[in-house]
């Protein structure tokens, strides 16, 4: 399922979202100019290799420097064009409304914390991994988790390929994001049976769960104009 757009209106410019998209795009452009060996070294240094932090003797033997910067920089690096485009497109669909409710600075802090939570769960499930984790998907999952709390009754125009036939349909945001989250959990649980995967499923789960929990701390109720009200079961549109 690929989201195309949602129907929740934005009230304020999404400056923090634009900044995050710009940082990710800039980092990817920088990666494109690195030759193969240099790119591999760059990703290992600024992505997160779990074994680097769980096995310091191995990390010293390999030659990793002592640094915590990868915990931040990993979420701005990507493995290819499709990887970065899908992450940033999904971010754009859902982040502007979440930023609307939080404000620019609070949203940026929220985004980084979701990325850290995503990383934490990934490292918990793969402490011995020597493969670098990179990508914004864990932090973006946090934005999706916040969105499902704030706007579950929104509508997401979704592209679903069915036997190579494009099917475009409006899906309730709660259903779209709920199905997406279930897929991440199922994929994470079956990964050990099916074999190794290039997708950090548990990072997605950790980011999403963090978003669901943290949104209650970071949202500003006075800006929650279009948020879902669980009491009235409707959006909080102002009286006209």
Per-residue pLDDT band for 231 (boundaries 50, 70, 90) equals: low
- What percent of the chain stands above pLDDT 70? 92
| pLDDT one-digit tens code per residue, 70-121 | 999 999 999 999 999 999 999 999 999 999 999 999 999 999 999 999 999 9
- What percent of the chain stands above pLDDT 90? 79
Q: What is the model's pLDDT at position 161?
A: 80
Query: What is the chain's length?
Result: 240
Per-residue pLDDT band for 239 (boundaries 50, 70, 90) equals: very low
CA geometry: angle at 162 spanning 156 and 165, to 5°?
A: 100
Q: What is the model's pLDDT at position 16?
A: 98
Mean pLDDT, range 43-56, rounded to an integer: 96
Q: What is the model's pLDDT at position 44?
A: 96
CA geometry: angle at 204 spanning 9 and 25, to 5°?
A: 65
Q: What is the model's pLDDT at position 237?
A: 44
State the distance between the two ends of the chain, measured CA to CA, in whole angstroms.
Answer: 36
Q: Which residue has the higher pLDDT, 43 or 229?
A: 43
Q: What is the model's pLDDT at position 194?
A: 38
- Beta strands, E only, the chain: 2-6, 155-162, 165-172, 228-229, 234-235
Mean pLDDT for the chain overall: 91
- Beta strands, E only, 85-200: 155-162, 165-172
In the predicted model, is pLDDT for residue 220 greater than 80?
yes
| pLDDT one-digit tens code per residue, 145-189 | 999 999 998 999 999 887 777 789 999 999 999 999 999 999 999
Q: What is the model's pLDDT at position 224?
A: 87
CATH of 2-235, one of 1.10.3720.10, 1.20.1540.10, 3.30.1490.20, 1.10.3210.10: 1.20.1540.10
Per-residue pLDDT band for 230 (boundaries 50, 70, 90) equals: low
| pLDDT one-digit tens code per residue, 66-84 | 999 999 999 999 999 999 9
For residue 172, the cross-strand partners are 155
């Amino acid at each position: 399922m690929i989201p195309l757009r949602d129907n929740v209106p934005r009230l304020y410019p999404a400056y923090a979202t634009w900044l995050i998209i710009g940082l990710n795009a800039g980092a990817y452009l920088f990666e494109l100019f690195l030759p193969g060996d240099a790119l591999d070294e760059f990703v290992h240094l600024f992505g997160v290799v779990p074994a680097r932090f769980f096995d310091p003797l191995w990390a010293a033997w390999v030659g990793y420097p002592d640094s915590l910067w990868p915990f931040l920089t990993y979420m701005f690096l990507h493995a290819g064009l499709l990887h970065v485009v899908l992450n940033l497109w999904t971010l754009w669909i859902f982040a502007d409304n979440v930023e609307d409710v939080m404000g620019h600075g609070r949203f940026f802090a929220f985004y980084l914390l979701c990325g850290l939570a995503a990383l934490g769960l990934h490292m918990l499930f793969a402490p011995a991994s020597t493969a670098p984790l990179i990508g914004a998907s864990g932090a973006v999952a946090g934005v999706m988790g916040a969105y499902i709390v704030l706007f579950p009754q929104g509508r997401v125009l979704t592209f679903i390929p069915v036997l190579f036939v494009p099917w475009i349909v409006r899906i309730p945001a709660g259903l779209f994001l709920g199905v997406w989250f279930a897929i991440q959990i199922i994929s994470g649980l079956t990964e050990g049976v099916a074999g190794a995967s290039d997708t950090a499923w548990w990072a997605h789960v950790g980011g999403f769960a963090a978003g669901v929990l943290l949104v209650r701390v970071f949202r500003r109720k006075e800006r929650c104009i279009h948020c879902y009200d669980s009491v009235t079961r409707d959006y909080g549109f102002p009286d006209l």
